[in-house]
Amino acid sequence: MQLLEQRDYQKLRSILSDMYAADIAAVLEELPENKLPIVFRILPKELASETFAYFDTDIQEVLIRAFSDTELEEVINQLYLDDTVDMIEEMPANIVRRILDHTTPEMRLEINQILKYPKDSAGSIMTTEYVALKPDMTVSEAFTRIRRTAIDKETVYTCYVIANDRTLIGVVTVKDLLMHEYENQIKDIMETNVIFVNTHEDKEIVAKAFERYDFLALPVVDRENRLVGIVTIDDAVDVLQDEATEDIEMMAAITPTDKPYLKTGVFETWRKRIPWLLLLMISATFTGSIIQHYEDALGKYIILSSFIPMLMDTGGNAGGQSSVTIIRGLSLGEIEMRDILRIIWKEMRVAVMCGLTLSVTVFFKILFIDRPPEQPITIALIVSGTMALAVVVAKIVGCSLPVLAKRIGFDPAVMASPFITTIVDAVSLMIYFGIVSNVMAL
C-alpha cells in the first residue's frame, strides 16, 4: 500500500509475484477502485489471470471496464471455462457482449452451451476442459497426450476414455497410468464401471457423489451418454458450502440468496426476509386469539399470564432442537424417510426426559422462588404439568414435520424453529388453558 503511494512498482511487483493468487485477490479487493487496475497491470500475465478468477464479480466488472481490448482478450483466454461462465452469468449485458466479442468462436460456442443448462444443474457448474483418451492408446501415448494438453486443463489426474462417438466408456487416473507399464493399453487398465451424472442432474446430487466416493472429478454426460464435461472437486466443495448456507437461511425463515451478506442490497435483504415475517406474524395472531378466548380465566388469575412467555419460549426451543437436528440429518443423508418411526420413538423418549427435568425445575422454582400469594401448589402443578406436556408435543411436532415436508416435496429446512415455534406456541397455550380451566373450575 505504501509502495503504491511511493509508486515503487518494481518492488510491489516482486512482492506480489511471490504471493498466491487467492491472497493477491484478497489484498487487491481492499484497494480503492481507481488504484485497482494500476496494481493489477503490475502482475505477471499468468498470475494476473489466475488472480482475476478469485475476484468477486463486482471487482471483475471494475477491471473489465478499465481493460483495453488486448488486456481483456489475454485475461479471458487464460481463464478456465467454468470461471468464465460463472462471471458471464452475473455481468450486465453490455459487458457480456464485450467479453464474448473477445473469445474465439469455439469458446463462444462452449460458453453458450453451458449457459443453456438450467441453474443449479450439473451442466451449469461443469467445465469442458478435460483430458479425453481413446481405448486403444498405450500408457505412453496417454502420457504424451496429457503432457501436450495439460496446460489448458483444469485437472489432468482423472482422464476419461471415450469411444469414437464420444460416449463415455471408461475412466483412468494418472495414478493408474503410473502404476502400469508404458506399453499397456488404456482399455486394459481403465475402470469401466464409471460413475457419472447427467447434465440436468441437480448440483446438490453431484456434490453428494463427491462426498460419497472421494472423487477429484466427476464426468457429465448428455442424454446419449456422450461425455460433455466434468465437474471438479473445488466446485463441488463450493456447492456443499452453498447448500449448507441455504439450509441455514431457510431454517431462519429467510429466502436463500447466492450473494455474500455485504454485497446484498438493503432492499433485496428486506425482500428475502419480509414475506416470512409477515406470514409468521399472521400465524402468531392465532395464538393471541387463544389467549383472548380464555380472557375470563386470565382476568381472575392475572399471575397465570406471567408464565406464558416461559412456556412459549421453552416449547419453541425444545421443538426447534428436534427439527433442526432432523433437518440437518436429512440433508446429510444420515436420516431417510423410512426412519420416521425410529425418529419419533427416540424423540419421544428424549422429550419425556427433557420434559420431566424442566417441569420439576419449574415446580420448585415457582414454589420457593416465585411464591405466588394464592394457591401456590395448584399454580406450580399447572405450570409444570403444562411444561412437561408442551415439551413432549413440541419435540414430536419438531421431528415429524421436516420428514413430512420432505415427503410432500417441500424443502424440510422450512420446518425449522420459526414455524415449529408458531405451531408449538398455540399448542402450549391450548394445553395451558385447558388445564387451567379444568383445575380452576374444580
Question: Of 211-270, which residues contact its own copies (CB under 8 A)?
Answer: 211-214, 216, 233-234, 237-238, 240-241, 244-245, 247-249, 251-254, 260-262, 266-267, 269-270
Q: Is 103 exposed, middle or buried (0-12, 13-18, 19+ CB in 10 A)?
A: buried
In this chain, which of 178, 341, 408, 441 binds its own copies, going by CB under 8 A?
A: 178
| Contact stretch for its own copies (CB under 8 A) within 40-48, 96-104, 114-122, 331-339 | 331-339
Using CB under 8 A as the binding rule, the residues of this chain from 59 to 98 that contact its own copies are none
Between residues 38 and 303, which has the closer beta carbon with respect to its own copies?
303
| Contact stretch for its own copies (CB under 8 A) within 84-92, 116-124, 163-171, 209-217 | 209-217
163 near its own copies (CB under 8 A): no
In this chain, which of 93, 106, 285, 408 binds its own copies, going by CB under 8 A?
A: 285
Could you tell me the smallest distance in angstroms from the CB atom of residue 288 to its own copies?
4
Between residues 309 and 409, which has the closer beta carbon with respect to its own copies?
309
Could you tell me the smallest distance in angstroms from the CB atom of residue 305 to its own copies?
5
| Contact stretch for its own copies (CB under 8 A) within 89-97, 118-126, 198-206, 356-364 | 356-364
Between residues 219 and 320, which has the closer beta carbon with respect to its own copies?
320
240-248: long-range pairs with CB below 8 Å, 24+: 240/207, 240/210, 240/211, 243/204, 243/207, 243/331, 246/413, 247/327, 247/328, 247/331, 247/413
Between residues 72 and 229, which has the closer beta carbon with respect to its own copies?
229
Residues 369-408 as x/- pattern, contact with its own copies by CB under 8 A? -x--------------------x-----------------
Between residues 95 and 424, which has the closer beta carbon with respect to its own copies?
424
- For 244, what's the count of Cα atoms within 13 Å in the CB-facing half-sphere? 8
In this chain, which of 62, 157, 375, 378 binds its own copies, going by CB under 8 A?
A: 157
Rounded to 10°, the helix 21-29/45-54 angle is 70
Using CB under 8 A as the binding rule, the residues of this chain from 286 to 325 that contact its own copies are 287-289, 291-292, 295, 298-299, 302-303, 305-310, 312-314, 316-318, 320-321, 323-325
